[in-house]
Amino acid sequence: MKNFVQNGEILEVVAPYEVQSGGGVKVGSIFGFAVTYAAAGETVDIKRHGVFDHAKLPAQAWTQGAPIYWDDATKQLTTTSTSNLLVGAAAAAAANPSAVGRVVI
């Protein structure tokens, strides 16, 4: 195939903010988890597919399969859709309260 560029599982982007390895990165409508640390403005590889544990809004209970969104203001996963980017689904249930949720993106 002449027009294939890459599989897209790992994508290089410019970090819109400082991000630690494993931190969520939102660039427009692109989302993934940083493979390494990057300062704002540096390039960073993000992993765009897989199952990840990450900080979630603690006061929410998740059911497996629930839509999960990225809150770029708090840098947390949430079930709240308003003003947030849909990134995947809950890979496992999460209790209220709990600090970490498992998401498949």
Q: What is the pLDDT of residue 78?
A: 98
CA contacts within 13 A on the Cβ side of 31: 20
58 C-beta neighbours (distance < 10 Å), count: 14
**Prediction pTM value:** 0.95
Q: Can you give the pLDDT of all 105 residues of the chain as single tens digits?
A: 899 999 999 999 999 999 999 999 999 999 999 999 999 999 999 999 999 999 999 999 999 999 999 999 999 999 999 999 999 999 999 999 999 999 999
Question: What pLDDT score does 48 carry?
Answer: 98
Which DSSP state fits 85?
A: E
Q: What pLDDT was estimated at residue 72? A: 98
